[in-house]
Amino acid sequence: MMKNITPDFGNIYLPQKALVLYRHNSNEHEMYIEAFDMDDRGRPVNAHPLTIEETAGFALSLAASAELSTRFLQSKGLLPANVLYIDSSRRGCALWYTPEQKKGIYFSQSLGIPSGEAWVPSMLWKADKQHLSVFAIKANRPPDETTVLYHAPFFNIYEDGEVCMGNVDIEIPENCCLQDFIKAWEVYFFNSYFSHLVQGHACTKMNIVQLWQQQVNSGKHFPKEVLVKTGRKLKDIIL
């Protein structure tokens, strides 16, 4: 299970209004809206017809919500060169690539692997607001639709590539820009503790514990020959 490395935070929303819509029993287009204020215990009180001022307030709130949804995954400036695909709808996702790089990696003590720096292979990342999937790529260059995907050689990953986030609280703001979205997911992944293989999934051709024992703090580039093909190409995971 991955360790939660984010502080507990969030916004608290208190009930303010309750609305009841009444429809005429013989004319479905004729409606009446009754509004209730809420007392300090969250109970509806003071029933009254919905006022023009209240209607205007609701309209502003709805407009603000719509604006936030359109800002999700918008780029700050030029589109990052490593971004491959974006779906910026309310349930949007992004697909991006990272080249071979040296990263700090953390392991649970039960694995017997020291935490430290190690080279990781080129990776393909796919994420929405709640889920992350990762894959490895052999070539150290931006992929295209025909690029063969390999299983990411890490713990805590299902066979289909989805990362088991354990008890990590994922906090992606509704209006998160593309750059912050990518940074947040990479931090969630690499700053959490790897702890176990999911459902016995063999993601490398050699024992994965021995692999990372050899790699961490060695300065050696990741041995790509141990990667295992997923049977999919990049085009197969684009929505």
**Rounded-to-integer distance, Cα 130 and Cα 106, Å:** 22
Give the amino acid at 37: D
Q: What is the pLDDT of residues 157-171, one digit of tens each?
A: 999 999 998 878 899
Q: Based on the number of CB atoms within 10 Å of its own CB, is 85 exposed (0-12), middle (13-18) or buried (19 or more)?
A: middle
Residue 51 and residue 74 in contact, taking contact as beta carbons nearer than 8 Å:
no
What does pLDDT average to over the chain? 86
Higher pLDDT, 113 or 31: 113
Phi-psi region of 219 (alpha: psi -120 to 50; beta: other; left: phi over 0): left
Confidence of residue 66 (pLDDT cuts 50, 70, 90): very low
Task: Check whether 14 has a pLDDT greater than 80.
Answer: no
Residue 128 and residue 91 in contact, taking contact as beta carbons nearer than 8 Å:
yes
Which pTM value belongs to this model?
0.72
Q: What is the pLDDT of residues 85-131, one digit of tens each?
A: 998 766 789 999 999 999 999 999 999 999 999 999 999 999 999 99
Q: Based on the number of CB atoms within 10 Å of its own CB, is 193 exposed (0-12), middle (13-18) or buried (19 or more)?
A: buried
Tokens 């684009």, located at residue: 238
**Which secondary structure element, helix H or strand E, spans residue 104, and what is its range?**
strand 101-107
Rg (CA), the chain: 24
Residue 85 phi, psi (nearest 5): -160, 140
Residue 107 and residue 211 in contact, taking contact as beta carbons nearer than 8 Å:
no
Task: Check whether 69 has a pLDDT greater than 60.
Answer: no
Phi-psi region of 150 (alpha: psi -120 to 50; beta: other; left: phi over 0): beta
Residue 23 and residue 7 in contact, taking contact as beta carbons nearer than 8 Å:
no
Structure tokens that stand for 190 in this block: 């690499």
Task: Give the mean pLDDT of 72-85.
Answer: 92
Task: Check whether 40 has a pLDDT greater than 80.
Answer: no
State what percent of residues in the chain have pLDDT above 90.
60
Whole-number pLDDT of residue 29: 62
**Rounded-to-integer distance, Cα 17 and Cα 140, Å:** 56
Confidence of residue 80 (pLDDT cuts 50, 70, 90): very high
Whole-number pLDDT of residue 54: 65
